[in-house]
Structure 1
Amino acid sequence: MIILLLNPACLLSLFIWVLLVLFPSRWRMSTRWEALNDNDSSNMQLPFLSVIIPARNESTSLPMTLPSWLQQDYPNSEIIIVDDESNDDTVACAKKIAGQSNRSVKIIHGTPKPESWTGKLWALEQGVRIASGEWFLFTDADIYHNQNVWKHLVQTALKEKKDMVSLMALLDTQGKWAELLIPAFIYFFHQLYPFPDACNNKSRTAAAAGGCILVSRRSLEKIGGLAGHSNAWIDDIALAKRLKKAGFPIALYFTQSVISIRPYLLLRDIWHMVARNAFTQLNYSWFALMGTFFGMSVMYVAPVAGVFTFMRNPIISLISLVTLFLMALTYYPTIRFYKQRSWRSLTLPIAGALYLAMTLTSAINHLKGHRHWRGTRNNNV
């Protein structure tokens, strides 16, 4: 019975991967952010920028990231750190580092979030309320910014006439599990939200990466601020969708200039990160979950199983090998972007199977009512 089901599954898998190869916008990583040349934009007037960072228990991250923000070459700016009820030395750490710089840093103590808000969005909202900038830069406390990122990011928005520009931070891949799963995470995100489509004003695709989002005050106020998606757990996607639906042009780029320092050394760290939001991405639909289970099983599990049928059915085995080659071909640009060895493009089926298991875990967590934001828990009702 399994063999009878495996044959059509392998054929369907080949068909799907041929289609993906024919639509390279979902895997080529062609939308890489390149900072504008200073000479080309030297006369560009830079608007006042408010950089808002929610921080919950980030005393280990801030010593590495806060100096990178303080060293930015952007004259008209303010840094606002919102302490989201930390129970470590986040505030003391931020004050100590900020005190060693001439740049002004506002550190505010966040209040308990209202019931209709998620933790991170409420922290951002409190920062927005006291911000003076014409543009807001939302970034995370564990995100390191290379020199001149702020200036070039704003210049990109002005030159490209975008009301939101988001950069996908380069994630940490140290450790065997991170090497296996983090590039695959980026690859799957790119398939769900093709970056060229997100940048295309005529496309309905909208996406952003929450670690680095630049948005104009006028566009955010026009759509009703962050309150319009205050309870969204995937807040970056929700913001991008609201902006694009309202007619504001957005852009999303890959970059190696914005770097996440948060390590994912253990499998459970990655598992928790994905399981936290995977079922939300499916709009809590059990039909969508079944479709995802079927689709990912066909795409990633069936070809591997098909290879081992060479004694019984060599044609299916050959088809499966071709499918695995196409799979590796589409994954290779991501592997190269993360500067990994070429052979790791062959590990996508393993990563796909693990991400399928994480998605199932996310659905189970939803049934239990568990939602988390940096040490907090919400119960779904």
Structure 2
Amino acid sequence: MSVVVWIAAASFAGWLWMLVGQGFFWRTDLRLPPRAEPEHWPSVAVVVPARDEAEVLPTSLPSLLAQDYPGHAEVYLVDDGSTDGTGELARGLAERTGGLALTVTSPGEPPAGWTGKLWAVRHGMERARARAAGRHTDAGPQAGAESPTDAGSHTDAEPHTDAGPHVPAPEYLLLTDADIAHAPDSLRTLVAAARTGGYDLVSQMARLRVASGWERLIVPAFVYFFAQLYPFRWIGRKGGRTAAAAGGCVLLRADAAERARVPDAIRHAVIDDVALARAVKRTGGHIWLGLADRVDSVRPYPRLAHLWRMVARSAYAQLRHSPAVLVVTVAGLAVVYLAPPVTLVAGIATGSAGAAVFGGLAWLVMTATYLPMLRYYRQPLWLALTLPATAFLYLLMTVDSAVQHYRGRGAAWKGRTYTRPGTTAPEESRP
């Protein structure tokens, strides 16, 4: 047998194994588990880290404030050094739309060793606890300004006694990104699912926007690849090693966060949602992750450059900044995704029946596993044939992520660049 035939056969064998042995990752029927409404609805603090999000807030924030939740819930939007008026816009939206109480607060710049998002999450969690205790205290070395819409404005450099009504301590934390829009019953269904199933963490992967041509090509594949790395059915197993969450929508028990020392224990994590899930599961937590039906990302990625940055900023961190893992990953992507069409064409051109048959069968299985994700995103099924080309783009993005890392520009996001943990502190620059 020629080398081409061996490669085609290896690719086909790999796809047969992934079809049945990788947690049925390709299935998209895993939704929120069965749930019953609890007798007591726990208090929830909704924490929204936001950095330069004025473009998407008019769509996302009103959806949070309009939550139909029977228990007590408050929203804490943490303005992480925005320069586009994010905080002021949030206050104005709350005044116009009403709904849940909103507190807009700012923690100042993150200390060395913290990512901006996790520093903002920490600040929001501290504000929720302090408000329940009837005071407002600083959550760290840098005090910010806090302006709750239901209690007036003040500066939190000194302890402040809240003269308002008693606020119960949050039993759950909903960590959600500023570009995520929630259906009115989103919080209600998340809490009911967590209570019914006994979960410490329930996460839904928001349906990403798919409107432009590049979004159609790349976004469904992004979720498909994520599910392949972290099969959702494995994540929900008690005692299993697989752990992941989708950072746009994470409902977390407050006591589970304390046990896992979240977010302090993961303060430097660029891929913070996976790190969060691992920390909770490592301390005995029961977690669940699935696809969302009515939780949507409203952030647009109209051009390839936008999607490229989204993937490349964290791809090398996913590989633990290891050159060896990078080489294995590139080789694996080539054999699994690129070899099937290449060996099929090579087999036809050279008259090699083995290469043509194995390559064609591997491409067939690959295509079949991608169809459910395209249906979930309501996209034309013929796009499944483009998966090898999309995988090639992801391969290039991964290599570029490594190149940018060694140039000192890895994990760059909205003016901040995060280096590998244990090297140098995060740097910030504004264009």
Maintained 8 Å contact 1:164/1:216: yes
In structure 2, which of residues 110, 114, 118 is the aligned counterpart of residue 117 of structure 1? 114
Q: Which residue of 1 aligns with 2:392?
A: 353
Maintained 8 Å contact 1:332/1:345: yes
- 3-state SS in 2 of match to 1:218: helix
Maintained 8 Å contact 1:161/1:249: yes
Maintained 8 Å contact 2:67/2:100: no
Is 1:331 the counterpart of 2:370 in the alignment?
yes
Q: Which residue of 2 aligns with 1:27?
A: 26
- 3-state SS in 1 of match to 2:349: coil
- 3-state SS in 1 of match to 2:41: coil
Is 1:172 the counterpart of 2:209 in the alignment?
yes
Maintained 8 Å contact 2:5/2:358: no
Across the aligned residues of Structure 1 and Structure 2, the Cα RMSD in angstroms comes to 1.5
Is 1:233 the counterpart of 2:270 in the alignment?
yes
Maintained 8 Å contact 2:313/2:412: yes
Deviation string, structure 1 residues 281-310 (Cα, Å, up to 9, x no partner): 111111111111111101111111112121
Q: Which residue of 2 aligns with 1:311?
A: 349
Q: How far apart, in 1, do the equivalents of 2:185 and 2:171 lie?
A: 19
Q: Give the TM-score, by structure 2 length.
A: 0.84
Maintained 8 Å contact 1:68/1:144: yes
Note the residue ranges of structure 1 that are not aligned, 5 or more in a row. Answer: none
Deviation string, structure 1 residues 302-354 (Cα, Å, up to 9, x no partner): 11111212131133112211111100111111111111111111111111111
Note the residue ranges of structure 2 that are not aligned, 5 or more in a row. Answer: 130-169, 424-431
Amino acid at match of 2:264: A
Amino acid at match of 1:369: G
Q: How far apart, in 2, do the equivalents of 1:266 and 1:123 lie?
A: 29
Q: How far apart, in 1, do the equivalents of 2:42 and 2:109 lie?
A: 32
Q: Which residue of 1 aligns with 2:408?
A: 369
Deviation string, structure 1 residues 25-58 (Cα, Å, up to 9, x no partner): 221123222674xxx42x5311100000011111
- Cα drift, residue 22 of structure 1: 2.0
Q: Which residue of 1 aligns with 2:320?
A: 283
Q: Give the TM-score, by structure 1 length.
A: 0.95
Structure 1 runs (4+) deviating above 6 angstroms are: none
- 3-state SS in 2 of match to 1:308: helix
Maintained 8 Å contact 1:35/1:153: no
- 3-state SS in 2 of match to 1:98: helix
Is 1:87 the counterpart of 2:124 in the alignment?
no
- What percentage of aligned pairs have identical amino acids? 36
Q: Which residue of 2 aligns with 1:58?
A: 53
Q: How far apart, in 1, do the equivalents of 2:111 and 2:80 lie?
A: 13
Q: How far apart, in 2, do the equivalents of 1:34 and 1:61 lie?
A: 29
Q: How far apart, in 2, do the equivalents of 1:167 and 1:314 lie?
A: 45
In structure 2, which of residues 42, 46, 49 is the aligned counterpart of residue 47 of structure 1? 42
Maintained 8 Å contact 2:45/2:172: yes
Amino acid at match of 2:349: M
| Deviates most, 86-95 or 101-110 | 101-110
Maintained 8 Å contact 2:47/2:174: yes
- 3-state SS in 2 of match to 1:99: helix
Q: How far apart, in 1, do the equivalents of 2:102 and 2:288 lie?
A: 28
In structure 2, which of residues 297, 306, 322 is the aligned counterpart of residue 260 of structure 1? 297
Q: Alignment length, in residue pairs?
A: 375
Q: How far apart, in 1, do the equivalents of 2:57 and 2:415 lie?
A: 18
- 3-state SS in 2 of match to 1:125: helix
- 3-state SS in 1 of match to 2:252: strand
- 3-state SS in 2 of match to 1:105: strand
Bigger-Rg structure (1/2)? 2
- 3-state SS in 2 of match to 1:17: helix
1:64-79 map, 5 Å = 64-74=59-69, 75-79=71-75
Q: Which residue of 2 aligns with 1:186?
A: 223
- Cα drift, residue 375 of structure 1: 2.5
Q: How far apart, in 2, do the equivalents of 1:243 and 1:82 lie?
A: 23
- Cα drift, residue 7 of structure 1: 2.4
Maintained 8 Å contact 1:207/1:237: yes
